[in-house]
Amino acid sequence: MRGGISDEEKKDRARAARERLRRGDHGRRVRSEERGSVSAARGAAASDGRSASPGEASAPPEERTHLLDRLQPDEERDLPPVVCDAESAPEGPPWHYDLSDEERAAREEKRETRQEKRDRLKQKALDKTPDKLRNPSDLQVRFRTGVIYTAATVICVLAGNIPMVLMLMVVAGICAGEFFYMLRSDAKLPNEMLGIIAAVLYPLSVYIAGLVGAMLVSLALLLALLVWYVFWLRARIPDVGVSFFGAAYTGLLLCGLVIIRVSLPAPWGGVCVLLLFLSVWANDAFAYLVGSKIGRHKLAPRTSPKKSWEGFIAGLVGSVIFWCLMTLVPGITMAIPQSIVFGIISGCMGVLGDLAESRIKRNSGFKDSGTIMPGHGGLLDRSDSLFLTSITAAILLIAGGCIPYALF
């Protein structure tokens, strides 16, 4: 801030304004009576052919002076003294205004030292980088990030139940953090701590106790949010709803992958989950490749202008291909016609999840949910299709009798 008042002083002024609103009509009636008294005194003086002054009115001088002070606008009385005007204001926030020349020089020198250290580290890393990898294009950055993300996912899924559950817990926590960060820009005040903790615990609870574990986490989250709502007066009902929805959206929906994994013996549970991942990636890749080439009819122009019906159909084809491959996995009882239907439903739910996340970003004014994946944005941008696809796939496989799983 250059000149003017500080944020703390703004809060004090807002607090005073709220207090005036609480006084309501009583305060306005008192001020109106005071104005009437002073006006009467001025009118009496004016009838004598002279201007009224505080010393010449009928009321005692002390009372008249008090009334005139009360008549001043409240905003003017509450204004703090100006620290400095806009032209003479120094650089930096107000708490830096009283720095001496020596302190300012030391601060500037420290800043330059840190910047030089960063530049040396960047140059050292650049010197070790091969020439062909320097100054990569956006496509190269996206490809390298995608390779790392895909490799980490494949390794964790095939390594065993515990590595996959840990991976899902990390994904749920990061995605929940990105979700709540965007919602804060949309005038919401979610409880990020409770939401992220619940999102992380959902996959672990389902792995340990099945659906009962998910119900216990949901109940504990709801009770914690109610206590928070009761004792933190700034919280509103929409904030409670957003906190619960964020945890369920990023954590509970991923539990479908855990259910599928534990329903089949090793290593076929991991293979089935990997094929489900591949169906989601094929849906996105086919839709992008076909839609960017021949896409003409917009699917949802106001929510995601780049999606087309041509790309949507191509994405469903990619999803169906890998669902048909699931029929070859031992332990899965599913015919080809059934896999085609399940692949279409799963592909549609993946597109719906993508559009839902696009709508959230558009309402919050974000292009990407984060920066953790260079070239792709946030982890929520890469996992939006997976949320609804995973829970839908688990429901379809259990309801269709394709995998053995006891709900309770």
Rounded CA-CA distance 345/316 in Å is 9
Helix 268-294 with 336-364: angle, nearest 10 deg: 60
Rounded CA-CA distance 402/235 in Å is 45
Does residue 157 belong to any structural domain of this protein? yes
Rounded CA-CA distance 101/183 in Å is 42
Residue 142: pLDDT band by 50, 70, 90 thresholds? confident
Going 306 to 308 to 310 to 313, the CA torsion angle's sign is positive
Higher pLDDT, 276 or 125: 276
Question: What is the pLDDT at residue 48?
Answer: 47
Higher pLDDT, 362 or 100: 362
Question: What is the pLDDT at residue 275?
Answer: 95
- Ranges 46-50, 84-88, 398-402: which has the least confidence: 46-50
Question: What is the pLDDT at residue 101?
Answer: 78
Does residue 124 belong to any structural domain of this protein? no
Taking the alpha carbons at both ends of the chain, their separation in whole angstroms is 59
pLDDT(308) > 50: yes
Higher pLDDT, 307 or 118: 307
Q: Are 156 and 168 in contact (CB under 8 A)?
A: no
Mean pLDDT across the stretch 219-235? 93
- Ranges 45-59, 126-140, 306-320, 388-402: which has the least confidence: 45-59
Q: Are 256 and 366 in contact (CB under 8 A)?
A: no
The mean pLDDT of the chain is: 80
Residue 147: pLDDT band by 50, 70, 90 thresholds? confident
Q: Are 376 and 305 in contact (CB under 8 A)?
A: no
Question: What is the pLDDT at residue 202?
Answer: 97
Nearest CA-CA partner of 384 in 321, 303, 267, 263:
303
Per residue in 11-63, pLDDT (tens digit) is 777 777 767 666 654 445 545 555 555 455 455 544 444 444 444 444 455 54
Q: What single DSSP character describes residue 377?
A: B
Is 267 strand, coil or helix? coil
- Name the CA dihedral angle for 63, 65, 70, 72, rounded to a multiple of 10 degrees: 160
Q: How many CB atoms lie within 10 A of CB 366?
A: 18
pLDDT(375) > 50: yes
Per residue in 185-201, pLDDT (tens digit) is 777 889 999 999 999 99
Within 8 A by CB and 6+ apart from 358, the residues are: 300, 303, 304, 384
Mean pLDDT across the stretch 223-243? 92
Question: What is the pLDDT at residue 254?
Answer: 94
- Ranges 150-154, 239-243, 261-265, 401-405: which has the least confidence: 401-405
Within 8 A by CB and 6+ apart from 256, the residues are: 390, 391, 392, 393, 394, 395
Does residue 106 belong to any structural domain of this protein? no
Strand locations in 235-372 (E): 298-300, 304-308
Going 374 to 380 to 381 to 387, the CA torsion angle's sign is positive
pLDDT(164) > 70: yes
Does residue 48 belong to any structural domain of this protein? no
Question: What is the pLDDT at residue 35?
Answer: 54
Higher pLDDT, 77 or 226: 226
Q: What's the whole-model pTM score?
A: 0.67
Rounded CA-CA distance 343/103 in Å is 66
Question: For the chain, how big is the Rg over CA atoms in Å?
Answer: 32
Rounded CA-CA distance 172/250 in Å is 5
Does residue 300 belong to any structural domain of this protein? yes
Supply the range of the domain harboring residue 380: 139-400
Is 373 strand, coil or helix? strand
CA angle, 84 as apex, 80 and 86 as ends, to 5°? 115
Does residue 349 belong to any structural domain of this protein? yes
Express as a percent the part of the chain with pLDDT over 90.
43
Q: Are 349 and 316 in contact (CB under 8 A)?
A: no
Within 8 A by CB and 6+ apart from 57, the residues are: 38, 41, 42, 44, 45, 64
Does residue 95 belong to any structural domain of this protein? no
Does residue 94 belong to any structural domain of this protein? no
Structural domain total, the chain:
1
